[in-house]
Amino acid sequence: MSSHPQPSAPPPTVVWLRTGAEAFRRMLAAIDQASRSIQLEVYIFQPDATGERFRAALIRAARRGVPVEVLLDAFGSNGLPAGYWRELEELGGTVRLFNPFSWRLFVFRDHRKLLLIDGTVAFVGGFNIGDEYDGDGVTHGWRDLGWELRQPDAVRQLAAAFAGMFHAYDLRHRLLLRIRRPLLRQTPASRHGPVLLGGPRLRRNQFRMSLRRALRSARHVQIISGYFVPNFRMRRALRRVARRGGTVELILAGKSDVPIAQLAGRHLYGALLRAGVKIHEYQPQILHSKLIIVDDAVYVGSANLDVRSFGINYELMVGLEGPQLAAEARELFAADRRQAVEITLPHWRKSQDWLTRLRGLWACFAFTKFDPWLARRQLRARS
């Protein structure tokens, strides 16, 4: 037997972050190990115990001389007190608030969640920074998941996406164009890479277009979405998969922090159930995961299956293919399905009294018609 130590295996290019607790543990460890750069982009950053752990880790990194850049959505993170980032900024860190509050621009939000370490490791998923995400999603904490990525193409595209948003954070001087142009200047190859961006006034919402293409020939579709209010074309695409003999399974929220979104989503169940789509509602905790499996393609990131994610919010998804990755994703789906109850057509019909139907219709109108109309109006007014 050789006395020479065996070289260690390289880390996997994709690691599942199966719970918020696991994600935060690995993210904080990565921040503490960073030596060249840290870039954090998140919709909600709470000034609670979890937020304090991240703030302290970022301050430690800045003291080591690591450049730190933080981009937070001004609305999602509006609970932060004045001076919260003063120590980090005094150490050379840069903190920016995306789309500082204005009624005329209120609708456009940065909903992305991304942590980049040294330009080599990226964390993506649905996790905001707050105590409610720090759990297993069953006994405590919201149900969420994500990926830790070391795939060079994905990390490179994620770094470019962060740079575009970080430098155009204030949405001044011709609304959104300073974000749109850097994204559209990507090389043709990169536009078809694993990172799929979404936002207003992109020529095409990359995630929406990729998902529609995948559904045209899909045989097996499994989706977990904390918020489910897709437009007519996406609902029709799901129904067509089921009607031509494919399988479509959805795990949606049984408990939600946005009751109006849940009301709108449930209003849409009928046509999907009649087409053969199977719907389950997750029971133990609030569902916040975003996972889509279409045959051997897997999508993970910040986008929900709703109109806002498809054309109003800035979103970020990563799509990867492979039978092993898809098998792992299906195992995660099956585990969550065991924590859910199936919604059958008779059950749904029984729940839809006239008042529930009326409220659901109103909620659907608000999400699928009024929100897009307001976004278009603000774009026309400020472009």
Determine which one of 73, 110, 111, 280 is catalytic: 111
pLDDT above 80 for 285: yes
* Average pLDDT of the residues in 294-309: 94
pLDDT at 176: 47
170 is catalytic: no
Taking phi over 0 as left and psi of -120 to 50 as alpha, with beta for the rest, 178 belongs to: alpha
pLDDT above 60 for 95: yes
Give the model confidence (pLDDT) of 306-356 as tens digits.
998 988 899 999 999 999 999 999 999 999 999 999 999 999 999 999 999
pLDDT above 50 for 57: yes
Give the model confidence (pLDDT) of 159-182 as tens digits.
999 999 999 887 654 444 444 444
Determine which one of 288, 306, 336, 371 is catalytic: 288
Determine which one of 73, 110, 113, 134 is catalytic: 113
Does residue 364 contact residue 96 with C-beta atoms inside 8 Å?
A: no
Among 4-8, 241-245, 308-312, 360-364, whose mean pLDDT is lowest? 4-8
Find all residues with CB under 8 Å of 74, minimum gap 6, and list them.
Answer: 97, 98, 99, 100, 101
Determine which one of 110, 134, 280, 290 is catalytic: 290
Letter string b/e over residues 157-190, b meaning 16 or more CB atoms within 10 A of that residue's CB = bbbbbbebbbebbebeeebbebbbebbeebeeee
pLDDT at 130: 97
pLDDT at 377: 80
288 is catalytic: yes
* Average pLDDT of the residues in 231-248: 95
Structure confidence at residue 205 as a pLDDT band (50, 70, 90): confident
Determine which one of 136, 170, 257, 295 is catalytic: 295
* Average pLDDT of the residues in 55-62: 98
pLDDT at 204: 63
Average pLDDT, the chain: 89
pLDDT at 203: 47
Pairing of strands 290-294, 220-225: antiparallel
Does residue 214 contact residue 204 with C-beta atoms inside 8 Å?
A: no
Does residue 325 contact residue 295 with C-beta atoms inside 8 Å?
A: no
CA distance 53 to 365: 40
Find all residues with CB under 8 Å of 232, minimum gap 6, and list them.
Answer: 368
pLDDT at 200: 79
Among 81-90, 167-176, 224-233, 312-321, whose mean pLDDT is lowest? 167-176
pLDDT above 80 for 72: yes
pLDDT above 80 for 363: yes
pLDDT above 50 for 184: no
By residue count, the chain amounts to 383
- What structural domains and CATH numbers belong to the chain? 14-184 (3.30.870.10), 197-369 (3.30.870.10)
CA distance 128 to 45: 6
Task: Quickly tell me which residue has 């992305």 as its tokens.
Answer: 112
CA distance 188 to 209: 16
118 is catalytic: yes
Higher pLDDT, 176 or 75: 75
Higher pLDDT, 208 or 299: 299
